[in-house]
Amino acid sequence: MRLCHWLVGFSLCYGIAFNVFAINKVTLTLPAFKDNGHEFFHELLTESLKAQGIEVTIITPSRHTPQKRAVHMLNKNQISLYWLVKTNERDKKYALVDVPLTNGMIGQRILLIPKGAQHHYKNINTLLDLQKSGLVAGLGANWYDIDVWKASNLPYHVKDGEWRQLYEMLSETGGVNYFPRGMHEVLAEAEGQPQLEIEDRLILKYNRSMVFYLSESAIEYKLLIERALKQAKESGLMQQLIDKHWKKTINTIKPEDRTIIELISP
């Protein structure tokens, strides 16, 4: 009887794997953003699957989907997958494609600050210095950053709804003083917000990566996407796309010249 059960299980697993790897066309429904922050992730999926001989069609429900709405759509099977910071809670809730996507840049936070506010940061070199400064971070609702800032004993303000409204809330002396962004995100955002600038000395670092989480409707593609991304990493394709989208940002940020402040990752 045990042998029978094992054979049935093996047959089912083998059949699923065979069917997945026999696919040659995939249609994915993905969120898009008005600041084009989705482009790398769309292209990574398209090119990595293309390298496996799979034609990809991407459908975007709208030109701009706020993050909170995108997560809701993921929960409701209205999109195929979404890229988010990897957390234990999300690992339990969604099907995980366990391949890091941005070389850890999401956890290397560069600060967007109001123009003219650089002097508030010039003497900050340690976590204790940042704690004593009293400077308040602006964070989006349900972000992993909230747990990090809380564990690191740093003050923060949470913006519910559209996190991009934080751009207009930043103030040199008001309630929200800086906006920590992933290294790969910050340059494009600064260029789109003329009232802001990039703080020029610090990296606030925590150890987390960004990954794809699948909705239930797209679980059938998990093995396919995972294999494609692993091979994209091994072949150098992923790094080529990272360079294409963010090499200018990295050259501008000059991470090698910055002071790294290690935050507490709970």
- E-assigned strands of 44-167? 55-59, 81-85, 95-97, 108-114, 137-140, 156-159
CATH code, domain carrying 258 = 3.40.190.10
In a domain, 4, yes or no: no
Residue 166 DSSP symbol: H
Q: Same domain for 165 and 190?
A: yes
Query: What is the pTM assigned to this prediction?
Result: 0.85
Nearest CA among 264, 260, 266 for reference residue 124? 260
Q: For 144-186, how does the pLDDT look when each residue is reduced to its tens digit (9 = 90+)?
A: 999 999 999 999 999 988 899 999 999 998 899 999 999 999 9
Q: Same domain for 222 and 152?
A: no
Nearest CA among 60, 55, 14 for reference residue 34? 60
Q: Would you put residue 153 in left (φ > 0), alpha (ψ -120 to 50) or beta?
A: left
Q: Same domain for 79 and 146?
A: no
Residue 110 lies in domain: 105-207+252-262
In a domain, 246, yes or no: no
Q: Same domain for 25 and 94?
A: yes
Q: Same domain for 55 and 98?
A: yes
What would the two tokens of residue 102 be?
A: 């941005």
Cα separation, 214 vs 25, in Å, equals: 18
Q: Same domain for 70 and 109?
A: no
- State mean pLDDT over 204-221: 96
In a domain, 155, yes or no: yes
What would the two tokens of residue 259 be?
A: 């002071």
Q: What is the pLDDT of residue 20?
A: 54
Q: Same domain for 154 and 200?
A: yes
In a domain, 64, yes or no: yes
Domains identified in the chain, total number: 2
Q: Same domain for 100 and 128?
A: no
Q: Same domain for 85 and 173?
A: no
**What share of the chain has pLDDT > 90, as a percent?**
86
Q: How many residues does the chain have?
A: 266
Q: For 20-36, how does the pLDDT look when each residue is reduced to its tens digit (9 = 90+)?
A: 556 789 999 999 999 89
